């Protein structure tokens, strides 16, 4: 079976669909192995794509073993991977694959997480709300797999939402790994410094340092502190460690520190975008 995935020809993919995904008595284990292999396919066929999409969005049409959450979750993630592969030959088909994911995800809304205010949980989330966090995170990761630029505004709205739950912010930041724009670079830099949770800061920093970038983290901190020196000398920005505090203040000026940092980020982003366009247009 792994050999068929590696070969990846239309005939090999048809064999996988016919004998594994649509088998009369399907094996959940084998189906999951095929789904993992889908991410490696350079040219997924329409037949295979349709079955993966059907399994992700309409699992009730499949035998009970394939309705398990760990199967449908993997199928949804693979819809993103298939969309990325399909985009090379058919951008329109790729857009059609990601559109239902984008529609379900939507943009971040301040009213979306009613039990949180300024990052402080007022009431413990209910089981239904936890399930909602998980679904949103899954959609974000699937769109990250797709890497379709039409999805970027939605991803950024969740990645920059301070009031979003930790799993959602983490997934949204991780989903930015497939995008290479000045705006994404600035968001990763900002999240690696200013997010309130170690896990999000860590993934943002890892993605930022692994990509081509216009500014090193240490230089960003130095520049931001220069801005601080012109405003409030008792606000200090420091690099994130696993257990470190991001913003250290003499008098607890959290909102002021964030305002200073975001003002610097905005100025930096504006200058980056001007430079970015100068490469394409006469200056």
Structural domains counted in the chain: 1
- 6 part of a folded domain: yes
- 68 part of a folded domain: yes
CA-angle at 7, arms to 6 and 12, nearest 5°: 115
Longest alpha-carbon distance in the chain = 71
Helix orientation angle between 152-159 and 91-105, rounded to the nearest 10 degrees? 30
- 267 part of a folded domain: no
- 113 part of a folded domain: no
CA-angle at 194, arms to 191 and 198, nearest 5°: 75
Range of the domain at 14: 1-86
pLDDT one-digit tens code per residue, 157-198: 999 998 898 999 999 999 999 998 889 988 998 898 888 888
Name the token pair of 226.
Answer: 């220069």
Q: Please report, to the nearest 10 degrees, the dihedral formed by the alpha carbons of residues 36, 40, 45, 47 taken in order.
A: 0
- 122 part of a folded domain: no
- 145 part of a folded domain: no
What is the pLDDT tens value at each position of the chain, 283 positions in all?
788 888 899 999 999 999 999 999 999 999 999 999 999 999 999 999 999 999 999 999 999 999 999 999 999 999 999 999 999 899 999 999 999 999 999 999 877 776 555 555 567 778 888 898 999 999 999 999 999 999 999 999 999 998 898 999 999 999 999 998 889 988 998 898 888 888 999 999 999 888 776 666 566 656 555 545 555 455 455 544 433 334 433 334 455 455 555 555 555 555 544 433 334 444 3
- 76 part of a folded domain: yes
Among residues 148, 146, 145, 198, which one has the least CA distance to residue 169?
A: 198
pTM as predicted: 0.77
- 240 part of a folded domain: no
């Amino acid at each position: 079976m792994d050999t068929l995935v590696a070969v990846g020809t239309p005939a090999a993919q048809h064999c996988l669909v016919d004998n594994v995904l649509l088998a009369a008595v399907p094996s959940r284990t084998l189906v999951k192995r095929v789904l993992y292999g889908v991410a490696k396919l350079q040219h997924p066929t329409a037949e295979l794509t349709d079955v993966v999409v059907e399994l992700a969005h309409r699992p009730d049409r499949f035998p009970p073993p394939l309705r398990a959450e760990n199967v449908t979750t993997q199928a949804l993630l693979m819809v993103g991977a298939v969309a990325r592969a399909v985009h090379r030959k058919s951008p329109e088909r790729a857009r059609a694959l990601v559109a239902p994911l984008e529609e379900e995800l939507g943009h971040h809304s301040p009213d979306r997480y009613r039990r949180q205010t300024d990052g402080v949980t007022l009431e413990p989330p209910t089981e239904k709300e936890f399930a909602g966090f998980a679904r949103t995170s899954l959609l974000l990761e699937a769109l990250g797999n797709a890497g379709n630029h039409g999805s970027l505004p939605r991803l950024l709205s969740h990645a920059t939402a301070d009031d979003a739950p930790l799993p959602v912010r983490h997934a949204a930041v991780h989903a930015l790994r497939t995008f290479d724009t000045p705006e994404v670079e600035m968001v990763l830099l900002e999240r690696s410094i200013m997010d309130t949770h170690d896990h999000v800061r860590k993934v943002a920093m890892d993605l930022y340092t692994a990509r081509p970038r216009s500014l090193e983290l240490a230089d960003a901190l130095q520049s931001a502190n220069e801005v601080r020196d012109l405003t409030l000398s008792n606000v200090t920005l420091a690099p994130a460690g696993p257990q470190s505090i991001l913003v250290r203040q003499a008098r607890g000026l959290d909102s002021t520190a964030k305002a200073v940092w975001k003002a610097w980020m905005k100025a930096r982003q504006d200058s980056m975008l001007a430079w970015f366009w100068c490469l394409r247009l006469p200056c």
